[in-house]
Chain A
Amino acid sequence: MICDTKLIMSKKSDISLVNFFVFNPEFGPKEGEEHKKILFFHPPATDIDTKIKNVGLCEAITKFTGTFTDRPCQSLHTQKLRQLFYEPEPNYWVVLTVTVPYSTKTKDGQTYLEYHDEDVQDSVYEAVLHQCYKMFKSLEHFFSKYLITLKLGQSDMLDVFNGIHFLPLDKNMYLRIQCFINLLEATFPHILYTAFLYQDQLVWSGLEQEDMRVLYTYLTTNLFPAYMEQEFQGLKATSSSSSLTSLHSHYGKYILGPTNLADESSAGRIPRLYINKDQAVLECHLLVYKAHSASVCLVIDGNYGLMFDLFKRLDKFLGPQLSALASDIGDYYARKPQSSSESQFKYVYFNLMNLAQKTSIHTDSRKLAVTGVSPDVIKLISDLNEDLTSCHIQDGEMIIKTWNDCWVVCKKADQREVYIILNQKNANLIEINEEVKKLCASQFTNIFFMD
Chain B
Amino acid sequence: MAEEPVVSSANDDEFKQGSEPGACRNSMLIATDSYEDIAQYLKADVCQSDVPNGKSTSVVGDADDASETSTPDQTVKCQNRVDPEETSVCSEQCTQYDRQEVSSDDSAVGDNSEETATTAVTETGQNSPKETLPDISCINRQLSSLSASDGSPHSVDTDQVCQPASSDVTEPSVTAEEYLSPELDYVHSAQWKNQDKHIFILSKAGKPIYCRYGDEDRLVTLFGVMQALVSFIQSSKDSIRYIVAGDHKFVFLVREHLILVAIAQTKESSTHLLLQLTYIYNQVLSILTLSQLGRIFNMLHNYDLRRLLSGTEKTFDNLLNVMNQDPSFFLCAVRCLPLETSVRDTVAQSIAQNAKVKDLVYAILITNHQLITLVRMKHYFLHPLDLHLIFNLVSATESFKAAESWTPICLPKFDSNGYLHAYISYLDESCDACLLLLTVDKDLFFTLSDCKRKIMEKLTKHHSLKAICESIRRGNYCISEAGIPELRHFLYKSRSTAQFTSPKFEVPYTAEEDRQRLFRLYQHLHYRIHCNSRPLKIMFTVGEYETLLGWVTSGFELYAVFGPLVTKPLAINSINKLLKWIKKEEDRLFILNSPTF
A-side interface residues, number (CB < 8 Å): 66
B534 touches A401 (CB 8 A): no
Given the interface pairs A67-B222, A79-B241, the reply to whether A399 lies near B140 with Cβ below 8 Å is no
**B246 to A, closest residue via Cβ:** A71
Which A351-409 residues have C-beta < 8 A from chain B?
Answer: 376, 379-380, 383, 387, 390-391, 393-403, 405
Report B-chain residues with C-beta under 8 Å of the C-beta of A39: none
Report A-chain residues with C-beta under 8 Å of the C-beta of B245: 65-66, 68-69, 71-74
Report B-chain residues with C-beta under 8 Å of the C-beta of A122: 244
A401 touches B246 (CB 8 A): no
Shortest CB–CB separation between residue B213 and chain A, in angstroms? 12
Asked if A430 CB lies within 8 Å of chain B CBs, one says yes
* Residue from B9, B45, B265 within 8 A of A429 (CB atoms): B9
A400 touches B536 (CB 8 A): yes
* Residue from B111, B248, B538, B569 within 8 A of A110 (CB atoms): B111
B533 touches A376 (CB 8 A): yes
Q: How far is the CA of A405 from the CA of B137 in the complex (A)?
A: 51
* Residue from A56, A77, A112, A429 within 8 A of B568 (CB atoms): A429
Asked if B242 CB lies within 8 Å of chain A CBs, one says yes
Q: How far is the CA of A71 from the CA of B244 in the complex (A)?
A: 10
B544 touches A394 (CB 8 A): yes
Given the interface pairs A65-B248, A68-B263, the reply to whether A79 lies near B243 with Cβ below 8 Å is no
Asked if B528 CB lies within 8 Å of chain A CBs, one says yes
Report B-chain residues with C-beta under 8 Å of the C-beta of A57: 136, 232-233
Q: How far is the CA of A31 from the CA of B140 in the complex (A)?
A: 11
Given the interface pairs A79-B239, A394-B544, A403-B535, the reply to whether A67 lies near B36 with Cβ below 8 Å is no
Interface stretch, picked from A113-121, A179-187, A227-235, A245-253, is A113-121
Report A-chain residues with C-beta under 8 Å of the C-beta of B114: 112-113
A31 touches B137 (CB 8 A): yes
Q: Which of A64, A67, A77, A111 has the most CB of B within 10 A?
A: A64
Asked if A75 CB lies within 8 Å of chain B CBs, one says yes
| Interface residues as binary, B113-138 with A (CB distance below 8 Å gives 1, 0 otherwise) | 11110000000000000000000110
* Residue from A1, A53, A379 within 8 A of B36 (CB atoms): A1
Asked if B100 CB lies within 8 Å of chain A CBs, one says no
Asked if A281 CB lies within 8 Å of chain B CBs, one says no
Asked if B368 CB lies within 8 Å of chain A CBs, one says no
Asked if B511 CB lies within 8 Å of chain A CBs, one says no
Asked if A78 CB lies within 8 Å of chain B CBs, one says yes
Given the interface pairs A60-B143, A111-B113, A430-B569, the reply to whether A71 lies near B248 with Cβ below 8 Å is yes
Shortest CB–CB separation between residue B1 and chain A, in angstroms? 10
Asked if B139 CB lies within 8 Å of chain A CBs, one says yes
Report B-chain residues with C-beta under 8 Å of the C-beta of A107: 111
Shortest CB–CB separation between residue A219 and chain B, in angstroms? 32
Shortest CB–CB separation between residue A390 and chain B, in angstroms? 7
Shortest CB–CB separation between residue A110 and chain B, in angstroms? 5
A429 touches B572 (CB 8 A): yes
Given the interface pairs A74-B244, A118-B534, A401-B536, the reply to whether A56 lies near B111 with Cβ below 8 Å is no
A67 touches B137 (CB 8 A): no
Which B230-272 residues have C-beta < 8 A from chain A?
Answer: 232-233, 237-248, 250, 263, 265, 267, 270
* Residue from A69, A117, A397 within 8 A of B541 (CB atoms): A397
Shortest CB–CB separation between residue B318 and chain A, in angstroms? 24
Report A-chain residues with C-beta under 8 Å of the C-beta of B46: 79
Asked if A76 CB lies within 8 Å of chain B CBs, one says yes
Q: How far is the CA of A79 from the CA of B46 in the complex (A)?
A: 9
**A66 to B, closest residue via Cβ:** B147
Asked if B193 CB lies within 8 Å of chain A CBs, one says yes
Given the interface pairs A2-B34, A77-B243, A383-B534, the reply to whether A65 lies near B187 with Cβ below 8 Å is no
Report A-chain residues with C-beta under 8 Å of the C-beta of B115: 112
Report A-chain residues with C-beta under 8 Å of the C-beta of B531: 118, 383
Q: How far is the CA of A118 from the CA of B527 in the complex (A)?
A: 12
Report B-chain residues with C-beta under 8 Å of the C-beta of A66: 147, 245
Given the interface pairs A68-B248, A69-B246, the reply to whether A403 lies near B536 with Cβ below 8 Å is yes
A73 touches B243 (CB 8 A): yes
Asked if B38 CB lies within 8 Å of chain A CBs, one says no
Asked if A422 CB lies within 8 Å of chain B CBs, one says no
Given the interface pairs A111-B113, A383-B534, A429-B572, the reply to whether A34 lies near B137 with Cβ below 8 Å is yes
A390 touches B538 (CB 8 A): no
Q: How far is the CA of A75 from the CA of B238 in the complex (A)?
A: 16
Report A-chain residues with C-beta under 8 Å of the C-beta of B193: 67-69
A430 touches B9 (CB 8 A): yes
Q: How far is the CA of A66 from the CA of B112 in the complex (A)?
A: 32
**B573 to A, closest residue via Cβ:** A430
Q: Which of B111, B116, B534 has the most CB of A within 10 A?
A: B534
Report A-chain residues with C-beta under 8 Å of the C-beta of B538: 399-401, 429
Asked if B532 CB lies within 8 Å of chain A CBs, one says yes
Q: How far is the CA of A41 from the CA of B198 in the complex (A)?
A: 35
Q: How far is the CA of A390 from the CA of B268 in the complex (A)?
A: 12
Report A-chain residues with C-beta under 8 Å of the C-beta of B267: 390
B244 touches A118 (CB 8 A): no
Asked if B539 CB lies within 8 Å of chain A CBs, one says yes
Shortest CB–CB separation between residue A129 and chain B, in angstroms? 13
A110 touches B113 (CB 8 A): yes
| Interface residues as binary, B1-26 with A (CB distance below 8 Å gives 1, 0 otherwise) | 00000011111000000000000000
Report A-chain residues with C-beta under 8 Å of the C-beta of B222: 67
Asked if B144 CB lies within 8 Å of chain A CBs, one says yes
Asked if A80 CB lies within 8 Å of chain B CBs, one says yes
**A393 to B, closest residue via Cβ:** B543
Given the interface pairs A68-B263, A69-B265, A405-B537, the reply to whether A53 lies near B233 with Cβ below 8 Å is no
Asked if A277 CB lies within 8 Å of chain B CBs, one says no
| Interface residues as binary, B501-531 with A (CB distance below 8 Å gives 1, 0 otherwise) | 0000000000000000000000010001001
| Interface residues as binary, B395-432 with A (CB distance below 8 Å gives 1, 0 otherwise) | 00000000000000000000000000000000000000
Asked if B542 CB lies within 8 Å of chain A CBs, one says yes
Report A-chain residues with C-beta under 8 Å of the C-beta of B110: 110
Q: How far is the CA of A56 from the CA of B140 in the complex (A)?
A: 7
Report A-chain residues with C-beta under 8 Å of the C-beta of B240: 76-78
Q: How far is the CA of A203 from the CA of B114 in the complex (A)?
A: 52
Asked if B305 CB lies within 8 Å of chain A CBs, one says no
Report A-chain residues with C-beta under 8 Å of the C-beta of B241: 77-79, 117
Which B177-226 residues have C-beta < 8 A from chain A?
Answer: 187, 193, 198, 222, 225-226
A65 touches B243 (CB 8 A): yes
Asked if A81 CB lies within 8 Å of chain B CBs, one says yes
Which B144-177 residues have C-beta < 8 A from chain A?
Answer: 144, 146-147
A64 touches B537 (CB 8 A): no
Shortest CB–CB separation between residue B301 and chain A, in angstroms? 23
* Residue from A31, A76, A112, A405 within 8 A of B111 (CB atoms): A112
Given the interface pairs A61-B243, A393-B544, the reply to whether A78 lies near B143 with Cβ below 8 Å is no
Shortest CB–CB separation between residue A89 and chain B, in angstroms? 17
A398 touches B540 (CB 8 A): yes
Shortest CB–CB separation between residue A41 and chain B, in angstroms? 16
Q: How far is the CA of A2 from the CA of B540 in the complex (A)?
A: 22
**B265 to A, closest residue via Cβ:** A69
The 6 tightest CB contacts between A and B, nearest first, are: A71-B246, A428-B9, A112-B113, A56-B136, A65-B245, A401-B538
24 interchain pairs, CB-CB under 8 A? A56-B136, A59-B140, A63-B147, A64-B143, A64-B229, A64-B243, A67-B146, A70-B246, A71-B248, A72-B245, A73-B245, A76-B242, A79-B239, A110-B110, A113-B112, A113-B113, A118-B533, A383-B534, A396-B541, A397-B540, A398-B540, A399-B540, A400-B540, A403-B535
Extra contacts besides A67-B222, A119-B533, A426-B11 (16): CB < 8 Å:
A1-B535, A60-B229, A64-B229, A71-B246, A71-B248, A73-B244, A74-B244, A80-B238, A113-B113, A114-B43, A383-B531, A399-B540, A399-B568, A402-B535, A430-B568, A431-B9
A→B interface (CB under 8 Å):
1-2, 31, 34, 53, 56-57, 59-61, 63-81, 107, 110-119, 122, 376, 379-380, 383, 387, 390-391, 393-403, 405, 426, 428-431, 433
